[in-house]
A and B are shown apart, each in its own frame.
Chain A
Amino acid sequence: MSRLLPRANLEGVVAALRSAGYRVVGPVRRGSLVTYDEISSAADLALDVIITRDSIKKFVLPRTEVVARFNRDAAGKVSVLDATAAPQPTVILGCRPCDAAALPIDDLVFAWDSTDRFWFSRREAVRLVTIACANCDESCFCTSVGGAPDSPEGSDVLLTETAAGDYEVQALGERGAELLAKFPGLRDAPAADRRVAAVPQRFDLSAAVTALEKNFESPFWRQTALRCVGCGCCTFVCPTCHCFDLVDEGPAYHSERRRNWDACQMKNFTLHASGHNPRPWQEHRYRQRIMHKFLYYPSRLGRTLCTGCGRCVRACPVNLSLLQVVSDLAAGRANALPTSAGEVKK
């Protein structure tokens, strides 16, 4: 036996969660894009799409957020004001497993050494009701990085579509059970056939990691990154990319310190005041992103910084596919390149 949520009851779930005080967000159509945004009815949900353009990251690490406010009085005396507003309790309905899995991975960097209370206060306020993927496309590669289209990792409630179009319901942990208790119209039903995508394994992760360890200075990076325009698109759509900048904005007498998304693909990311840049060329910055995700982060914090959502593959304006690059590495194509021949004078 399993717990079943009839598809028709999704509307009741949205209404119940909203009346329980949650902001309910989910995948919605905005023009030609599908993005996560607030919904007022289950009819707003675009559940037929494989994946949204942007990830759920913005609900935990907003594009921009105020971390402090400064007031300067007429005498020039500065006071620092509290910028912490309690985050809005939010349910993400129709989250994807590859998005949900990203949050526990990023928890590691926001918790090591010191705890980032901006990240964790939002994390605490956000509940994830994930719908397992019934379909995938050629950019999906969750199964290559330890995930699965029906993985419960990071979710509070997991819904899996049945052959009849209803949802099998699974509560995960205390938070999940508490949330599921608010769902109306659940019933017990015999286990039915589940619709779960068959995501093929695209590369051997450990072979890719070994190749990265060996190929820091391979000409592979120059050849690969030649067409990278350094727009940073891949980092902004990525559910695990978490680098940020701190900037002051507003007039001097009433200003804000903001934390904004930043990207290692930008030249200024590492540029020193002296003009020296430890990553002067795009090949260095491209290498950094791949190395960080598949070698540095796992070696430091124990998890691969990628969930295989494939967004960076879909979003890249020059078709520079991370999936292809990591597959090439795993297949030993970087090793095969001579290390000195073909050097380009910079």
Chain B
Amino acid sequence: MDAIVLKELSKVFSFKASKGLKGFLRPVKKQVRAVDDISLTIKKGETVAFIGPNGAGKSTTIKMLTGILQPSAGHIAVLGFNPLTKRRELAMRIGTVFGQRSQLVFNLPLTDSFELTAEMYGVPKQEAQKRIATLIRQFDLTDFVDQPVRKLSLGQRMRAEVANALIHNPDIIFLDEPTIGLDIVAKRSLRETIKSVNKERGTTVFLTSHDVGDIEEVCERTLIVNHGKIVLDAKTSALKKDYLKRKKVSVVPADGVDSSVAVEEVAAISEDGRLVFDVDITKTPLKQFLPSLLEQIDIADLTIEDTPLEDIIHELYTKEK
């Protein structure tokens, strides 16, 4: 079954363009198309990254999906509900985490927030206690579950936010930058937990993030949105394969670094006692580049790296501009 279906979805914002007395007397209105004719389908249980530069239309789309904003045109169905007319029914079936907005009770222990959420979503008391205990274990919250939320570290709080969003066992969880501000250890731990929730409960994950690690480690599918349009809809694993055009070949020469060297017309850059070649594999395939390299330079060590996914995504953003 489909979790989310969008058909020709658009959102146009209008705002006053003129300011001051002139603007008051003769208001000029301008329009911005924040979401432009988006159509997509997300199946139940999928893990989807919804990414794009600032102002691309991500937040607007999430707000329409959750019933906060009214679309200007098009059709939305989330778990079969129209979010605008069935907002509360839909709210019972979705969970949300906003990295920059806490949904926990600041001055009370975590358990109070969990109990309040369970009550809000009508989870029977005994069932709620069971689920809370399971989530505390699954999210490794035991050590600080009795501490007031204000005393938790950011990493602990974010794990608790995600656990809190899962108390009513939602079918979809919307995660808006869940790892923002977290250190590497906390990020890894949170990503692992989100993945396990998806596997064990079959919860559909809809994630927006500027952190490529979130996308690579959590999401099977990536949607890139820019200027309100979907510019790419692909399997995350295929992203690199299909869009990888460059390789970074780094060598440590046995007889000292000579940065004036060029191999197959690819110039070297000297970096920390290494020579680095940025090879465009569409023009110079590695099978052609590497023999020439070995012939020209006496090599003590060699590494070949893919272009980071971050650079690929950046290239896709800028290409669209």
Q: Indicate, yes or no, whether A interacts with B.
A: no
Please give the residue numbers on chain B whose beta carbons come within 8 Å of chain A beta carbons, in ascending order: none
